[in-house]
Amino acid sequence: MLRGRAFKFGDSISTDHVISGRYAHLRSNLVELAKHVLEDADPTFVSRVKPGDFIVAGSNFGLGSSREHAPLVIKMAGVSAILAKSVARIFFRNAINLGLPVLMCDTDKMNDGDELEINLEGGKVKDLTNGSELTLGKIPEVMLRILAEGGLIPYIQKYGDFKL
């Protein structure tokens, strides 16, 4: 069970919003890089987010670049899951590979600051502020197994190969 506050974003939050290409020189200095997470979408995000909080977004979250640094800095900010109406393909795979759950549901009724409770096993998200409950979209089995190990690198450390 995950519990935290919602940080609401709109549609089409790109990997450049999440971590701009102009900070590419900080990609080997993750602590410095993470200070700029989501800067071009909400410059106050980094100072307000607390461990366990959620990103709640509209459609096509994470479109653009293959930079794994995008989900990485979100994870480093303490975000425990991303909820979105839909998510771009590479970002989805990257987030799961880092052990960061990305969950699909209709986020329209969730507001910034709402308290949310996510039941990963049961596939449900409850908005404790407005009392609504939603069913989460299914994640492919192979990705669930990777997520269960905490990401692709721990998965490979354990199995040494893909076990489908």
Partner 1 sequence: MGKTLAEKILSRNSSTDAKAGDIVIAEVDLVFAQDTTGPLTVRQFHESGLKHLAKPQKTVLFIDHAAPSPSVNLSTDHILLRHFAHENGVVISDVGEGVCHQIVIESLARPGDVIVGADSHTVTAGGLGAFATGMGSSDVAVVMGLGKTWFRVPESFKVEVSGAFQKGVSGKDLILYLIGMLGADGATYKALEFSGNTVALMSISQRFTIANMAVECGAKVGLFPADNVVRGYLIAQGRANDYQTILPDADAVYERTIKINAAELEPTLAKPHTVDNTAPVRELKGTKVQQVYIGTCTNGRLEDLAIAASILKGKKCHPQTRLIVAPASRRILVAALKAGYIQTLVEAGGTILPPGCGPCLGLHQGVLGKGEVCLSTSNRNFKGRMGNPEAFVYLASPATAAATALYGEITDPREVL
Give 118 or 139: the residue with its C-beta nearer to partner 1.
139
Give 25 or 131: the residue with its C-beta nearer to partner 1.
25
Core vs surface per residue 99-113: b (16+ CB within 10 A) or e: bbbbbbbebeebeee
Give 16 or 117: the residue with its C-beta nearer to partner 1.
16
Nearest distance, CB of residue 72 and partner 1, angstroms: 8
Nearest distance, CB of residue 20 and partner 1, angstroms: 5
**Residues contributing to the site for partner 1 (CB under 8 A):** 12, 14, 16-17, 20-22, 24-29, 40, 59-60, 63-69, 72, 86, 88-90, 93-94, 97-98, 140-142, 151-153, 156-157, 160-162, 164
Nearest distance, CB of residue 24 and partner 1, angstroms: 5
Give 5 or 67: the residue with its C-beta nearer to partner 1.
67
Q: Are 15 and 64 a contacting pair, CB within 8 Å? A: yes
Name the β-bridge partners of 84. Answer: 57, 104
Nearest distance, CB of residue 3 and partner 1, angstroms: 27
Give 51 or 160: the residue with its C-beta nearer to partner 1.
160
**DSSP assigned state of 22:** G
Kindly state the greatest CA–CA separation across the chain. 45
Nearest distance, CB of residue 56 and partner 1, angstroms: 17
- Angle, helix 141-148 to helix 89-97, in steps of 10 degrees: 30
Q: How many helical (H) and strand (E) elements, i.e. helices and strands, does the chain have?
A: 7, 7
Distance CA 13, CA 117 (A): 23
Distance CA 42, CA 15 (A): 13
Distance CA 52, CA 14 (A): 22
